[in-house]
Amino acid sequence: MTSSSIAHSPAVSQVQVALGLRSYEILIGADLIAGAGAILKDMIKNPRVAIVTDENVAALHLNGLQNSLTEAGIQFSTFVFPPGESSKSIASYSDLMNRLLDSRIQRDEALIALGGGVIGDLTGFAASTLRRGVDFIQIPTTLLSQVDSSVGGKTGINAPQGKNLIGAFYQPRLVLADISALDTLPPREVLAGYAEVVKYGLLGDYEIFEWLELNGKKVIEGDAAARIYAVEQSVKAKARIVAKDEREGGVRALLNLGHTFGHALEAETGYGPHLNHGEAVAIGMIMAAELSASLGYLDRQDCGRIRAHFKSLGLPVRVPDIAGVNWNAEKLLAHMRQDKKISGGKITLILMKAIGDTFITKTIEEADILSLLQQELK
């Protein structure tokens, strides 16, 4: 199969991220890893590439990728990291750079990120700095990375001082979102990614939300057509926003709906295993909706509708009991003040006027945020 025959097969959706010379395609469909060699052959400059992945993904999907590259006559070297956020460290970055340079990688060779957001962020940042920038290709294998982190060009690693503090805006050359890869994803990771899917509906597209109310269960349970549609609508929404505001000077901040609250919850739980990012963002979106309703921006009924949808799919709507965590509104507010989105002394929030209609505001009084937090922690 040639890249154009794959791209034009009816089962594959194609979305463009329009960024002038840095524009790229996102292909969404089944079995794209198996077809990756044929797709990449026509676009890479050198028939040698470097694959970066983690141990979990390597065990499940690396052979498929390697076989398809071999069939297409593409040579590769492979670099495998332990799974988890700890691989987005300065140490992993340094290790990857050393190993890539030891392998005598050339400027015209591409890096392929095969994995979730951790591998995508690490590989993208490595690509942005290796020999002042080499091509990179995203093959996201989690729902979160397919709908969010692989698109938009934010790459980076964590510093001891905080998450994502070292990084670059660096766009991939191509994104292959193989929804077949999601078949091996643990259900909790699927749900975490789904929180970001529903976010796109809430922040800017009522039709997406309405579709999810009817089909969200299918997306969660693994229906291929529903997953392709959900990923396609999500990346279209993200691509539209990124095309308007690549470096988050304005509208891109809307993508942070639920995130200022969510980051505070994550910080309070020490980014531990009891609350993952998607879960924190889900609760954060409920908090944003409740605050919007209590300030009179959002209809109470819409707020209830959002809550009902989350509940029906098993997304959390309130903070869980976690041993050692003493939920406290003042402490959460303090975390929100630390969030990087703060400016001019006021906390920046994304609030809702309706399902599908959000706005960025820096005028909300801390007293209002505090009483909302108190109410939600009750």
Closest separation in Å from C-beta 54 to ligand NAD: 5
Q: How far apart are CA 176 and CA 51, in angstroms?
A: 14
141 is in an annotated binding site: yes
Contact predicate 354/260, CB 8 Å: no
259 is in an annotated binding site: yes
Segment near ligand NAD (CB under 6 A); pick from 109-117, 258-266, 281-289, 345-353: 109-117
Write out the catalytic residue numbers: 132, 154, 196, 238, 248, 252, 256, 259, 263, 277
Q: Is 144 in the site for ligand NAD (CB under 6 A)?
A: yes
Q: Compute how many residues bind ligand NAD; rule: CB under 6 A.
A: 28
CB-nearer residue toward ligand NAD: 32 or 373: 32
Q: Is 116 in the site for ligand NAD (CB under 6 A)?
A: yes
Q: How far apart are CA 317 and CA 285, in angstroms?
A: 9
- Each residue 302-341 as x (binds ligand NAD by CB under 6 A) or -, in order, gives ----------------------------------------
Q: How far apart are CA 213 and CA 211, in angstroms?
A: 5
Q: Is 184 in the site for ligand NAD (CB under 6 A)?
A: yes
CA dihedral 258→260→264→269, nearest 10 degrees, is 40
Q: How far apart are CA 306 and CA 84, in angstroms?
A: 30
Q: Of all helices (H) and strands (E), which one includes residue 105?
A: none
Q: Is 284 in the site for ligand NAD (CB under 6 A)?
A: no
CB-nearer residue toward ligand NAD: 141 or 260: 141
277 is in an annotated binding site: yes
Contact predicate 72/43, CB 8 Å: no
Q: How far apart are CA 320 and CA 317, in angstroms?
A: 9
| Alpha carbons within 13 A on the beta-carbon side of 174 | 23
Q: How far apart are CA 305 and CA 63, in angstroms?
A: 44
> Could you tell me which residues are annotated as the binding site for Zn(2+)?
196, 259, 277
Residues at the interface with ligand NAD (CB under 6 A)? 54, 56-57, 60, 83-85, 88, 115-119, 121, 141-142, 144-145, 148-149, 152, 154, 164, 181, 184-185, 189, 192
